[in-house]
Structure 1
Amino acid sequence: MKAKIWANLGVKNVEKSRAFYTKLGFEKNAGRESDELASFLFGEDNFVIHFFKEDSLKKGMKGELADLSKGNEVIFTISAETKEEVDNWAVKVKDAGGSVFSPPEEFQGMYGCAFADPDGHKFNILKWK
Structure 2
Amino acid sequence: MKTRMIWGNLVSRNIEKTIAFYTALGFKQNGTETSELVSFTFSESNFIINFFTPKRFEWALKGKIVNTELNNEIIFSLSADSREEVDLWLEKVKKAGGTIFSEPENYELGYTFGFADPDGHKFNFLYWPGM
Give the TM-score normalised by structure 1.
0.94
Work out the CA distance in 2 between the residues paired with 1:10 and 1:41: 16
2:25 aligned partner = 24
Q: What pairs up with 1:110-121 in 2 under 5 angstroms?
A: 110-121=110-121
Residues 1:99 and 2:93 aligned together: no
C-alpha deviation, 1:72, in angstroms: 1.2
Deviations 1:15-61 (A, max 9, x none): 10011001000011024x21211100111110110011111111222
The C-alpha deviation readout for 1:74-93, integer Å capped at 9, x for no partner, is 10000001111101111111
Structure (1/2) with the larger strand percentage = 1
Q: Distance in 2 between matches of 1:71 and 1:54?
A: 16
Counterpart AA for 1:19: A
Amino acid at match of 1:80: A
* Cross-structure match for 1:125: 125
Consecutive unaligned residues of structure 1, counting only runs of 5 or more, are none
Give the TM-score of the pair, scaled to structure 2: 0.92
The letter for the 2-side match of 1:61 is L
Distance in 2 separating the partners of 1:94 and 1:41: 20
1:71 Cα deviation after fit:
2.1
4+ long deviations beyond 3 Å? none
Matched residue SS, 2:26: coil
Written as runs of structure 1 = structure 2, the 5 A alignment for 1:14-93 is: 14-31=15-32, 33-93=33-93
